Structure 1
């Protein structure tokens, strides 16, 4: 891993305290004091704080979370277990109050009294989504933990592939339980639309996300293994063939891999739709990648055959 990736992750985490400092200094003379900090369901202000106290409280939380994120970014360079996941979580914790602080002050700019500030619906929605995007960026920039230390198994295959022969295998796994949970969660948001629609939007997006990941599609081809979610097969994660040491089948227990969806744990990374059979890849760095898929035996055999052919072509050079 190059040094630029953890450096970029650290810069993403550091944006949160910088935003608090920058917005606070830029708008300190343009907002009422005290400032609004809470709105009721009708959108009226029902809570205020002195600007200095509000800024100090937010800065303390954001600064501490950013420091934790930076420490975990440094630990991820040593491939410490769950350091990348922890850094992403700490980044989210730093960005959320920072983004809400910025949204509050922007909404309060040039308003005489805190009670006159209306609920900034769109800015708050953006401030809720941005921390998740920042956490995702940090998670993708940082490496996972090192392998278990056990020898990396060597691929063997009874299937022989000719040079230049193109092959493709596609399989899926689905979970009715996740689909039902997503539908029920979506129906449960209906009352929120009549009370506080921003919460309904957030809950509706969560319901769509749960229902979307109930289907996992696995594609094996000459380039490697691609795993995607939902009917549109997006988003997609690709494992290059050159990074794969071997493949096997196994029983995927969601809780051992961190839960359902796209997970990262001490076991490795996983795309989990349901409990049961799946494809388990061992990578050359000792990490593992698992994906639930029905009848994974042909997929494992094909991956091993592709790896064997790739190794043979390297040896022949």
Structure 2
């Protein structure tokens, strides 16, 4: 039972103007915060100009010996441009595709983390070189690099938490008559539960973790071990989800507790089964944002549950037995009318 709503007959209810306004406001302050972190770091680095060597170390070999050099001003400009470019990218994603609060939160966190990461990278690179005439022997602390990766997560999480959620926008249009349903008696409660796990992305994550651990051991750069730890946490959060459909609607949540989302039954226009192509539609695996702001929990290619909701929003989840989930969700939506 696989279907895709034909062009011109997709259910609609409400326009995206309301969420576009929320997305613009959220991304304006998040982008400003990310840019401010990067510019503040650039200002500090620039104030060190008289204390830095004419050619500062800018790249290190696996053994910790500098093997690349640049002028301090070039490093400042490069890191600042990198930060502002990433901030602009996340701002565009949050503004143009932020139809769901989850997308806006991830984009806001990405903006703030990018500014903090690039600014921190600039400072830990140049700080050890202050007062030196020759940077050829300066080392780069693995602990400092780990701090650069981890520390910006704190303001990033705060930024995500400050982005307001979506208010319930009840659907006015009826559930399409040809949408599948489940026969549920009055007063009867029905719950559908599944676990969405694994997929190629998990294998890619496992290889990435093993490679970074091996590099840390071979080069004895023990501070690098923070990278596989972060990757392990990321892949646990992104490649194992519980999926629940009941009278209240659809709930999708990572087994790690975050990320997650809930689609109230009152917002559901229609639920159906679709065939999902992760790269063509979402650019990869995990919690993704596709064209038009469609949110996807995409772990593999194949059968998926498509939930179209009010405000021009939609959610796709790759999960087994999606037909039963769609039918039960349509029934819950009809009752919620």
TM-based fold match above 0.5: yes
- Per the alignment, residue 300 of structure 1 pairs with 326
More displaced stretch, 61-70 vs 263-272: 61-70
1:148-203 CA deviation, whole Å, 9 max, x = no partner?
A: xxxx772564434646x654321123335444444444434443122144555425
Q: CA deviation at 1:238?
A: 2.5
Q: How far apart, CA to CA, are the structure 2 residues paired with 1:208 and 1:71?
A: 26
- Per the alignment, residue 18 of structure 1 pairs with 39
Change (3 A) 1:260 1:70: closer
- Per the alignment, residue 228 of structure 1 pairs with 253
Report SS of the residue matched to 1:37.
strand
1:114-263 matched pairs, under 5 angstroms: 114-115=135-136, 117-129=138-150, 154=175, 157-160=181-184, 162=186, 166-175=189-198, 177-192=200-215, 193-195=217-219, 196-199=221-224, 201-203=226-228, 205-206=230-231, 209-210=234-235, 213-230=238-255, 232=256, 234-258=258-282, 259-263=284-288
- Per the alignment, residue 149 of structure 1 pairs with none
Q: CA deviation at 1:280?
A: 0.9
Q: CA deviation at 1:34?
A: 4.0
Q: Does 1:310 align with 2:336?
A: yes
Q: How far apart, CA to CA, are the structure 1 residues paired with 2:50 and 2:73?
A: 12
Q: Structure 2: 5+ residue runs without aligned partners? A: 1-18, 166-172
Q: CA deviation at 1:69?
A: 5.9
1:108-119 matched pairs, under 5 angstroms: 108-109=129-130, 114-115=135-136, 117-119=138-140
1:64-143 matched pairs, under 5 angstroms: 66=87, 96-109=117-130, 114-115=135-136, 117-129=138-150
Q: CA deviation at 1:119?
A: 1.2
Report SS of the residue matched to 1:114.
coil
Q: How far apart, CA to CA, are the structure 2 residues paired with 1:17 and 1:208?
A: 26
Q: How far apart, CA to CA, are the structure 2 residues paired with 1:88 and 1:107?
A: 29
Q: CA deviation at 1:48?
A: 3.3
Q: How far apart, CA to CA, are the structure 2 residues paired with 1:293 and 1:176?
A: 11
By relative contact order (CA 8 Å, sep 6+), the higher-ranking structure is 2
C-alpha RMSD over aligned residues: 4.3
1:123-149 CA deviation, whole Å, 9 max, x = no partner?
A: 3223345678888868x9599xxxxxx
Q: How far apart, CA to CA, are the structure 1 residues paired with 2:99 and 2:206?
A: 42
1:66-110 CA deviation, whole Å, 9 max, x = no partner?
A: 56666676656899xx99999988877666543311222344456
- Per the alignment, residue 290 of structure 1 pairs with 316
Q: CA deviation at 1:282?
A: 0.2
Q: Structure 1: 5+ residue runs without aligned partners? A: 144-151, 312-317
Q: Does 1:38 align with 2:62?
A: no
Contact 2:97 / 2:289 at 8 angstroms: preserved in 1?
Answer: no
1:48 to 47, 58, 69: 69
Q: How far apart, CA to CA, are the structure 2 residues paired with 1:50 and 1:167?
A: 66
Contact 1:178 / 1:214 at 8 angstroms: preserved in 2?
Answer: yes
Report SS of the residue matched to 1:285.
helix
Contact 1:178 / 1:211 at 8 angstroms: preserved in 2?
Answer: no
Contact 2:184 / 2:190 at 8 angstroms: preserved in 1?
Answer: no
